[in-house]
Amino acid sequence: MSNPDIYLTMDAVSKNFGRFTALAEVTFQARRGEFICVLGPSGCGKTTLLRVVAGLEKQTRGKVFIEGRDVSSLPVSSRNVGIVFQSYALFPNLTARQNIAYGLKSRSLSRQAIVKRVDELLDLVGLRGMGRKHPAKLSGGQQQRVALARAIAVSPDLLLLDEPLSALDAKVRVMLRGEIRQLQQRLGITTIMVTHDQEEALTMADRILVIDQGRLVQNGTPRQIYDKPATPFVAGFIGAMNFIEDARKIEKGLYDIGETHLSVSGENGTGRLPAGSRVTLAIRPEDVMLKRDPSVSNLLQTRVEAMEYRGSMFRIDLKRQVSEGTSFTITADVPAETVRRLGITPRSTLPIHLPVDRLRVYEAGKGS
């Protein structure tokens, strides 16, 4: 807690609404200037987490520290945070300028200083010349920028974004994603953004917190979250994932499904499981390789069940016979060019290769 790099610390924070547990023992730290995305399905408690950080809700248990100072019972006004809401909450009867200047007016700043600062902020968010318009006359993306400018106008130490992009068109969303990230890095402001959009989280965040049913299930960089999802839930929520159920551990690094043996290099806590344990193997569709070379390990013969055209690639459902009457299906993403070259068609047979370092192992029946 005395680490000067750490700006925010949540220590075992829980929040109950009556009997409903919105947050259960959430602990994490945010470094100064870090961009953290809180990711999870709707109703998982991520917005509650943001509101507790802001001081809009008081946690039932646990503590919140800002720069080592216990702010657990301080209201939002004492935490120096800037907030951008999903709805933007722009004042409809005030112009963009007046909205941005709203928080500045109550500080002892001269009129000229306010005008100058609002000009800076309008430039900063790329709205020069739009200041006299009312929110209703601005596009969704422009409203979003005004809300952002208004939030950072008062120079908060912490910026909180609650699903800031979810109300926008896909194209505007992608553009603003980059802009918000650039702005955040330029200002070096510690930022926590709540989102249910995995792509948003992966592209913008320094670190992602994945929340499920009020619990923090994984805390890591976007690459860690994507490549080494801690639980099947994380794996399934972020990106697509094949789950091969009913696999069995033979020895360290070796598993089988029926007659098929599969080697796995990086095990994830399952290395300590006794031989014979039931596990679930997982692999991302884009990691499934097409190989005919019989010398590589983890080579499986499969049959093409269905093909879904997705423009640049095909998503192909492959069926693997385990024994009489039992089989499992693996989905593979194959570039359209490869499909054309190999002449893959439904009902044809296809040998695939599951790279040892891309397979994940989960203990069966745990956290799905």
Angle at 23 between CA 19 and CA 27, to 5 degrees: 145
Which CB, 17 or 309, lies closer to other proteins?
17
Rounded to a whole number of angstroms, the minimum distance from the CB of residue 25 to other proteins is 25
Which CB, 151 or 180, lies closer to other proteins?
151
Distance CA 174, CA 274 (A): 46
Helices (H), ranges, 38-95: 46-54
Rounded to a whole number of angstroms, the minimum distance from the CB of residue 235 to other proteins is 33
The residue written with tokens 């917005």 in the block is 47
Rounded to a whole number of angstroms, the minimum distance from the CB of residue 101 to other proteins is 10
Rounded to a whole number of angstroms, the minimum distance from the CB of residue 206 to other proteins is 19
Rounded to a whole number of angstroms, the minimum distance from the CB of residue 80 to other proteins is 6
Distance CA 178, CA 203 (A): 8
Which CB, 70 or 123, lies closer to other proteins?
123
CB 303 within 8 A of CB 318: yes
Rounded to a whole number of angstroms, the minimum distance from the CB of residue 45 to other proteins is 18
Which CB, 91 or 309, lies closer to other proteins?
91
Rounded to a whole number of angstroms, the minimum distance from the CB of residue 18 to other proteins is 12
Rounded to a whole number of angstroms, the minimum distance from the CB of residue 121 to other proteins is 8
Which CB, 38 or 304, lies closer to other proteins?
38
Which CB, 36 or 153, lies closer to other proteins?
153
Which CB, 102 or 243, lies closer to other proteins?
102
Which CB, 83 or 288, lies closer to other proteins?
83
Angle at 260 between CA 258 and CA 266, to 5 degrees: 115
CB 146 within 8 A of CB 96: yes
Binding residues (CB under 8 A) for other proteins: these are 54, 56, 75-78, 80-83, 85, 87-89, 91-94, 102-103, 105-109, 117, 120, 123-124, 134-137, 150-157, 186-188
Rounded to a whole number of angstroms, the minimum distance from the CB of residue 31 to other proteins is 18
Distance CA 67, CA 271 (A): 39
Which CB, 123 or 199, lies closer to other proteins?
123
Rounded to a whole number of angstroms, the minimum distance from the CB of residue 52 to other proteins is 13
Distance CA 271, CA 358 (A): 16
Distance CA 263, CA 152 (A): 51
CB 152 within 8 A of CB 82: yes
The full DSSP string for 101-157 is HTTTTTSS--HHHHHHHHHHHHHHTT-TT-TTS-GGGS-HHHHHHHHHHHHHHT--S
Which CB, 83 or 217, lies closer to other proteins?
83
Q: What are phi and psi of 338, to 5 degrees?
A: -60, -40
The continuous run of DSSP H or E covering 74 comes out as none
CB 38 within 8 A of CB 193: yes
The full DSSP string for 161-223 is EESTTTTS-HHHHHHHHHHHHHHHHHHT-EEEEEES-HHHHHHH-SEEEEEETTEEEEEE-HH
